Chain A
Amino acid sequence: MAGSGNAHLRPRDQVLLQVEDLVVEFPAGRGRTVRAVSGVSFDLARGETLGIVGESGCGKSSTARALVQLPPPRGGSVRLDDVELTTLRGEALRRTRRRLQMIFQDPISSLNPRRRVRDIVSEGTRVWGAGGDRVDEVLEAVGLDPATAAVRRPHEFSGGQCQRISIARALVLEPEVVICDEPVSALDVSVQAQILGLLEDLKERYRLTLVFIAHDLAVVKNVSDRILVMYLGKMCELAASTELIERPAHPYTRALLASIPGSGLDLPPADRLIKGEPPSPVDPPSGCRFRTRCPRAASRCAEEEPEIRPLTGGHWVACHFPETA
């Protein structure tokens, strides 16, 4: 899986956001380096939702933060329309950031406990001096009553409502791309459905392009047009949502699907598709990073990193021995 390569990227004029060879690393103490993301590429057409899925340590959240340049990635490029974000600094970067907003996992921690909802939501408009009249509109759009909600503080709201406030804050600046980093994993099932439905509504209403990051494949499939599967900082597989779920080609994708209880898919039991635990991103395996847990791994997998390559139209996989129907 260790997939690298850019063959799957579409022509630049067809996409809104293009990420190429993204590398994110940070120090792990004692002079070691965590290789969180090692050469990931993807793109999004305007109005598209790309799901990124993987288990903890796969680099999906590091990817999200690298997109908004917090902090800027160690290597690679992030291009929004014609603007290369990774080389922007200071004021120019600040101006571009507003086109790219983010929603976080923890609904409580992402709101300042000492500010009122109206101040939280209108912060962006105050900074940019415009759109103050949009505050009530976005509050209504996310399903909160501006008259009663705006004067209260975050701790008076439930987790789901806090997530609505976060979404309102992100939308007030009319961003083009919204990056959702595990936006529903801290919520109960009944509330999760509300937020997922809300995101779909808002996407239509404000013509948003979404990057939706989660560990739950069923959630990701529900909202995404295409899904990218990541493992230990690398790409495994990229395909349209239904294609990926129905015809998974990468051994890791298959293991991930088989591990989901009651998936209703025709797959062997998970314990035949994956073994052991993920290695440390400080010291990833050579060649394909999934080979240590892969039942199909051969000597080639240790020596040579698989490049991402096309399977059928729009279905891409980074594996030497993919499952083909």
Chain B
Amino acid sequence: MRRRLGPGFWIAACWILLVLAGALLADLLPIARYDETLAGPPRSGPSADHPFGTDGLGRDVFSRVVHGSRVSLGVGIGAVLLGLAIGGPLGILAGYRRRATDAIIMAFNDVALAFPSLVFALAVVAFAGASLRNVLIVLGVLGVPAWTRLIRGATLSFADREFVLAARVLGVRDSRILWREIMPNVAVPAASYAFIGMAVVVVAEGSLAFLGLSVQAPTPTWGGLINEGRTLMDDAPHVVLAPSLVMFLTVLSFNLVGDRLRALTDVRHSGLEPVRQAPPAAPAAPVHAVGDSLLQVEDLRTHFVTERGLVKAVDGVSFTLERGRTLAIVGESGSGKSMLIRSILGLLPGSGVDRSGNVYLDGDDLTRRTPEEMRHILGPRLGTVFQDPMTALNPVRTIGAQLAEPLRVHLGMNRKQAREEAARLLAQVGIPDPGRMLGRYPHQLSGGMRQRVTIAMALSCGPDVLFADEPTTALDVTIQDQVLRLLHRLREERHMAVVLVSHDLAVVREWADEVIVMYAGKVVERGPTAEIFGRTRMPYTEALLQAAPRLTDPAHHRLRVIPGRPPDLVDLPSGCAFQPRCAHARDRCVTEAPELLEDGHLYACWYPTGSPISEGAESRGR
């Protein structure tokens, strides 16, 4: 927590405390009285006696600024508390009760927001009298709509969460749900907004004072001091600059504290986003022969340094792929399977990620291509489909515009040609009435239709390899079947290669020719599909197969349980990453990471299943 707030937060907090202490102790400080004229020579600049100099009447500017902070901070804190006291309950009520309560409160709120608050404050203060109390009440009440809106929004975002539902199922009373489940979550955004609100109120009070409509002279206020100093700008600019600077720093501090507190409520960081570049992952010199395969990946590594440590997301992956074949990359979350294809395509998130190894497309090393050169390969030669068709399409552009774009950019078609080709592509992926579909937006389509559109986009420039990252995970099973059939048909028609990333072994078994099983960024087993599923060698693959329920098993069949949890990528176990969860693990597995061994297919295990060594050996008994 301390580290995430950053040094700026603490400096700002100290400044606020300093100003607050000055305001509280102003009378006790050994400084001139704020209204004592000729405390020094008029209009004299900063000196040891008068750190901020003196004003036109020879009054000590420092003393006046310190005393002025009483009004600013008093009104700031008071008005914010008043706004919160009224707006907070209203917001919680509106957000939690919904329906009529919400509608009424928010209708009032909308109207209240329509008033020009500063103008309104001016009028009210002018007619009701410019006292500290009136200024505080007016600014506090004017802050109510913003508070209501904020607290309502925060409440709404939590009132729908399952943990609130769960509490209601437990029979918890509404009052307790509000207090125990919702309030703690709303508290942080509220605290954040309290500081930003104080900044707003301090500025508003300053504005009133600047116009002469806040607390009246002789009590000094920051806005009033700045207004007075304006007339002396020519020969004594310090009189206006000193209160300006103090006010600026105070407002800045309130904003900064509020901003940092708000950052705390942002989506929790996984601690796994890259923060800086990792040292080069491996020596670059290629020691492999470049074959004439369509796609050849050699010793690909992708490492990055995160807040928690070095993550080896992809750690030495090699494979080859020919036209007309489907390679499946299978693994659980965190295995690095998605990162692998992003790494092959060079689509790594921003900076801070280090990639090494080689990717050859028809013998041409893609890792040596500049980003500019890569752009002529992505699209025309390598096509990509992602998991969630909902997020894979730009929500504000029509299907036609998105589909025609690569055709115009890469193939140089004109608008009309691109449109015709787009309609043809849509028909090819089985979308009815393609002409009308071109004018539609993604949200008007079902999930299955959207995925067909993204496939059409990936295929638009006739790629040689199609990368499909969990293309059916977000779809229903009957639609999944349709999409997988479509991919297979298109592969045949276009004589492409397909790289299919999936967590679903059944999908892989049915649709892939070759399989790579990944665990913690490494390939643990690789080979033809029939081999992998027929003669599984790596205990992880075997366990995964037995952990998935099958329709042909009897009901209440006990599934094989893989103990423990998927590995923590910044804190991998020594030796084989799977050994802590492996039933066959022995001492060597802890001390030495297994290389990929060849026996019909490749596997990385010292004691593979189905071999006499492991059958006869006693497991370590974990």
Contact B166 A173 (CB under 8 A): no
Decide: A218 near B551, CB < 8 A? Known: A161-B565, A191-B565.
Answer: yes
Known: A189-B547, A193-B560, A241-B555. A102 touches B169 (CB 8 A): yes
* Cα A170 to Cα B163 with chains together (Å): 11
**A197 on the B face (CB < 8 A):** yes
Stretch at the interface among B105-113, B243-251, B473-481: B473-481
B478–A274 CB distance below 8 A = yes
B133 within 8 A of A: no
Contact with A along B505-516 (1 / 0, CB 8 A): 111011100000
Q: Is A80 an interface residue (CB 8 A)?
A: no
Question: Do A194 and B561 contact each other (CB < 8 Å), given the known contacts A55-B478, A188-B333?
Answer: yes
Q: Are B548 and A200 in contact (CB under 8 A)?
A: no
Given contacts A55-B477, A109-B162, A261-B506, is CB(A127)–CB(B176) below 8 Å?
Answer: yes
User: Interface majority SS on A: helix, strand, loop or mixed?
Assistant: helix
1/0 per residue A268-279: CB within 8 Å of B? 001100100110
Q: Is A94 close to B, CB under 8 A?
A: yes
Do residues B332 and A169 form an inter-chain contact, with CB atoms below 8 A? no
With A114-B184, A221-B549, A257-B551 already in contact, the answer to whether A169 and B562 are too (CB < 8 A) is no
Chain B CB within 8 A of A84 CB: no
CA distance A285 to B181 in the complex (A): 42
B434 to chain A, nearest CB (A): 16
Over the window 26-59 of chain A, the binary record of Cβ atoms lying under 8 Å from chain B Cβ atoms (1 yes, 0 no) is 0000000000000000000000000000011000
Whether the pair A155, B268 counts as a contact (CB closer than 8 A) is yes
Residue B391 at the chain A interface, CB threshold 8 Å: no
User: Is A256 in contact with B552, judged by CB distance below 8 angstroms?
Assistant: no
Taking a contact as CB atoms under 8 Å apart, the answer to whether B446 and A221 are in contact is no
A263 interfacial contact with B, CB 8 Å: yes
> Which residue in chain B gives the minimum CB-CB distance to A105?
B162
| A102-154 interface (Cβ within 8 A of B) | 102, 104-106, 109-115, 119-120, 123-124, 127-128
Contacts of B555 in A (CB 8 A): 221-225, 241-242
- Enumerate chain B residues within 8 angstroms of A155, measured Cβ to Cβ: 268
Do A222 and B165 have beta carbons less than 8 Å apart?
no
Most central of B170, B180, B505 by chain A CB within 10 Å: B170
| B167 proximal to A (CB < 8 A) | yes
Cβ of A202 under 8 Å from chain B: no
Q: In the assembled complex, which residues on chain B have CB atoms less than 8 Å from the CB atom of A89?
A: none
A123-B180, A158-B565, A259-B477 given; A223·B170 CB < 8 A? no
Interface residue tally for chain A (C-beta within 8 Å): 75
Confirm or deny: A11 has a beta carbon within 8 angstroms of a beta carbon on chain B: no
- B549 to A123, Cβ gap below 8 A? no
Q: Are A218 and B550 in contact (CB under 8 A)?
A: yes
Q: How far is the CA of A262 from the CA of B548 in the complex (A)?
A: 12
Cβ contacts B553-564/A at 8 Å (1 or 0 each): 111111111110
Tell me whether A98 and B171 are in contact in the complex, defined as CB-CB below 8 angstroms, given that A55-B478, A110-B166, A189-B548 are known contacts: yes
Instruction: Tell me whether B485 and A271 are in contact (CB under 8 A).
Output: yes
Are the C-beta atoms of B162 and A104 separated by less than 8 Å? Answer: yes
**Would you give the shortest CB distance from A296 to chain B, in whole angstroms?**
16
Structural contact, A113 and B549, CB atoms closer than 8 A: no
Asked if A197 contacts B558 (CB within 8 A), the reply is: yes
Contact with B along A52-68 (1 / 0, CB 8 A): 00011000000001001
Contacts of B485 in A (CB 8 A): 271
Residues in chain B near residue A193, CB distance under 8 A: 547-549, 559-562
CB neighbours of A94 from chain B (8 A): 171, 173
The 7 residue pairs across chains A and B that have the minimum distance between CB atoms: A110-B162, A261-B510, A55-B476, A190-B562, A193-B547, A259-B481, A193-B559
Could you show 16 A-B contacts with beta carbons less than 8 Å apart? A55-B476, A97-B168, A100-B169, A109-B162, A115-B181, A115-B184, A123-B170, A128-B171, A189-B332, A190-B544, A193-B549, A197-B561, A200-B558, A264-B550, A274-B478, A277-B446
Known contacts A193-B547, A193-B548, A194-B561; can you find 12 more A-B pairs with CB under 8 A?
A55-B478, A98-B170, A102-B169, A155-B268, A160-B565, A188-B333, A197-B558, A197-B559, A261-B509, A264-B551, A265-B551, A277-B449
